[in-house]
């Protein structure tokens, strides 16, 4: 836990959380930070909070006290987004400070009532509304709905150019060496980028259209620094705004010059061909992610698929359909709108097959628009000819991916 003075009168209170499933189901191997902010003008405001992980709200109150601020003296609580990782502490806070005014969107006001029964002392703000905290700290609100709940707002501190964005421009990963992205080593920066795409694909991917609108809105503001509710602070806002626009574009493809190989096998027959393909891909000049289902969580598979232009699916037939863990992952990729990929499928079957039929059905139903090159199916173990055919198709896919990305 950490308190950092990030601008004149502005403090970040940050807590790292590990060993949880984010939103109750996303695996986060490198943890996540929860960031709250204090603005001290003539009046004091706190922006967002943190939920019951890691001993908070007690931890958060401890951080506030480090700043010599009595929690009961805070005038405004700004709720950018009512998801309980940011709002779960409000009930406890209201017990200490019942007179605090909650500043939030109209939709968040309804959620305050349904989550916590809070109906009093609420100031509803919308597009371009302002709140003057004194000492020059004038907050200018913007609505950024569905990034990632409909209630979401952000606010610019016009004195310092700090934009508080909650889930927008967030990332997974703990805060370690610095709270600023521009202070990371090359190695830490690479991990941070990976954690940002994991966060984007798991949390925001579905709302990519709305993300684009939110970024456009933020781009029009005089922003000097972006301070999100998860992850690092950006003193070069253009960097993360551009990155988020790119991530949003990956929804419809093409994405990066990368291939994700997703595979599953009951008795090792399909796996034999997978091993052959992995060796072949190692010879190609392209980044490859390999994920076995159901061993790896679908959040991890999604993170790779989101940035990959090419997808290879390898699975056998099971009870006239496809190997069930693969079907589950594909359903989730479809729901998150991992669309417009270049794809290839191979796999083993015993007598009449059926995996391909279900694959076609899922692609059509979820309108995924993946362009498949001809699949390769084999009975039982793949023979030399089958492997050769699989190899040819993989080569073809690599070319298609490169062409799609390079235009
Ligand atoms: C429980 C079970 C159900 C199967 N159902 C079918 C089926 O409906 N149609 C078919 O052609 N093969 C079916 N098979 C055969 C497998 O597809 C075949 O053995 C294949 O080689 C398995 O590949 P794998 O080792 O990569 O899992 C089934 C196998 C198992 C174990």
Residue 360 belongs to domain with CATH number = 3.40.50.360
Ligand 1 atom nearest the C-alpha of 354 is 9
Last residue of a domain, one of 193, 217, 249: 249
Task: List the chain pLDDT tens, one digit each, 407 residues.
Answer: 789 999 999 999 998 989 889 998 999 999 999 999 999 999 999 999 876 566 667 777 777 888 888 888 999 999 999 998 889 889 888 888 999 999 999 999 999 999 999 999 999 999 999 999 999 999 999 999 999 899 999 999 999 999 999 999 999 999 998 999 999 999 999 999 999 999 999 999 999 999 999 999 999 999 999 999 999 999 999 999 999 999 999 999 999 999 999 999 999 999 999 999 999 999 999 999 999 999 999 999 999 999 999 999 999 999 999 999 999 999 999 999 999 999 999 999 999 999 999 999 999 999 999 999 999 999 999 999 999 999 999 999 999 999 999 98
pLDDT at 312: 99
286 is a domain residue: yes
Distance CA 70, CA 170 (A): 28
pLDDT at 60: 76
Residue 301 Cα to ligand 1 middle (Å): 24
Q: Which residues line ligand 1 (CB under 6 A)?
A: 265-271, 316-320, 348-354, 380
pLDDT at 202: 97
pLDDT at 194: 96
Where helices occur in 250-383 by DSSP H, the ranges are 269-283, 298-307, 324-335, 355-365
Q: Are residues 178 and 42 in the same domain?
A: yes
Last residue of a domain, one of 225, 249, 273: 249
pLDDT at 101: 98
Residue 266 Cα to ligand 1 middle (Å): 8
Residue 323 Cα to ligand 1 middle (Å): 8
pLDDT at 71: 87
Residue 291 Cα to ligand 1 middle (Å): 21
pLDDT at 64: 82
Q: Whose CA is nearest to atom 29 of ligand 1?
A: 318
pLDDT at 331: 97
13 is a domain residue: yes
Last residue of a domain, one of 216, 249, 282: 249
Substitution site in 350, 379, 383 for ligand 1 pocket (most atoms within 8 Å of beta carbon): 350
* Torsion sign over Cα 262, 267, 269, 275: positive
Chain CA centroid to CA 62, Å: 29
Where helices occur in 153-207 by DSSP H, the ranges are 186-199
**What is the domain extent for residue 64?**
2-249
Substitution site in 316, 325, 387 for ligand 1 pocket (most atoms within 8 Å of beta carbon): 316
Q: State the ipTM, two decimals.
A: 0.99
Distance CA 153, CA 137 (A): 18
Q: What is the dihedral of CA 256, 258, 262, 268, to 10 degrees?
A: 170
407 is a domain residue: no
Ligand 1 atom nearest the C-alpha of 267 is 25
Instruction: Quote the number of domains for the chain.
Output: 2
Structure tokens at 367: 């309108």
Cα distance between the two ends of the chain? 46
The DSSP H or E segment spanning 7 is strand 2-7
Residue 384 Cα to ligand 1 middle (Å): 20
Do the strands 256-263 and 162-166 form a parallel or antiparallel pair, or are they unpaired?
unpaired
Q: Whose CA is nearest to atom 4 of ligand 1?
A: 318
């Amino acid at each position: 836990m950490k308190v950092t003075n990030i601008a004149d009168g502005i403090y970040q209170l940050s807590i790292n959380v590990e060993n949880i499933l984010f939103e109750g189901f996303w695996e986060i191997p490198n943890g996540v930070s929860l960031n709250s902010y204090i603005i001290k003008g003539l009046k004091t405001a706190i922006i967002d909070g943190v939920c019951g992980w890691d001993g908070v709200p007690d931890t958060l109150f401890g951080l506030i006290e480090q700043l010599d601020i009595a929690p009961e003296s805070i005038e405004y609580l700004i709720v950018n987004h009512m998801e309980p990782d940011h709002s779960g502490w409000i009930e406890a806070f209201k017990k200490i400070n019942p007179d605090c005014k909650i500043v939030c969107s109209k939709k968040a006001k309804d959620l305050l009532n349904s989550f916590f029964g809070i109906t009093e002392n609420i100031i509803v703000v919308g597009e371009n509304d302002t709140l003057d905290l004194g000492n020059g700290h004038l907050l200018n609100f913007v609505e950024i709905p569905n990034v990632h709940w409909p209630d979401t707002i952000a606010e610019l501190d016009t004195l310092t150019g700090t934009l508080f964005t909650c889930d927008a421009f967030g990332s997974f990963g703990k805060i370690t060496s610095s709270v600023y992205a521009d202070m990371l080593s090359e190695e830490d920066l690479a991990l941070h980028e990976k954690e940002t795409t994991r966060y984007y694909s798991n949390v925001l991917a579905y709302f990519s259209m709305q993300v684009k609108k939110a970024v456009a809105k933020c781009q029009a503001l005089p922003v000097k620094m972006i301070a999100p509710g998860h992850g690092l602070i950006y003193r070069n806002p253009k960097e993360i705004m551009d990155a988020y626009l790119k991530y949003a574009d990956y929804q419809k493809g093409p994405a990066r010059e990368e291939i994700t190989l997703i595979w599953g096998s009951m008795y090792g027959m399909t796996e034999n061909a997978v091993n052959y393909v992995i060796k072949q891909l190692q010879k190609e000049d392209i980044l490859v992610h390999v994920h076995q289902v159901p061993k790896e969580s679908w959040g991890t598979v999604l993170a790779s698929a989101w940035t990959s232009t090419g997808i290879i699916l390898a699975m056998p037939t099971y009870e006239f359909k496809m190997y069930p863990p693969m079907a589950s992952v594909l359903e989730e990729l479809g729901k998150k709108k991992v669309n417009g990929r270049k794809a290839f499928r191979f796999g083993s079957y015993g007598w009449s097959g059926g995996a391909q039929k279900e694959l076609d059905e899922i692609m059509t139903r979820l309108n995924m628009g993946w362009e498949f090159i001809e699949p390769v199916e084999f009975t039982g173990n793949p023979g030399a000819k089958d492997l050769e055919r699989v190899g040819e198709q993989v080569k073809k896919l690599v070319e298609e991916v490169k062409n799609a990305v390079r235009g």
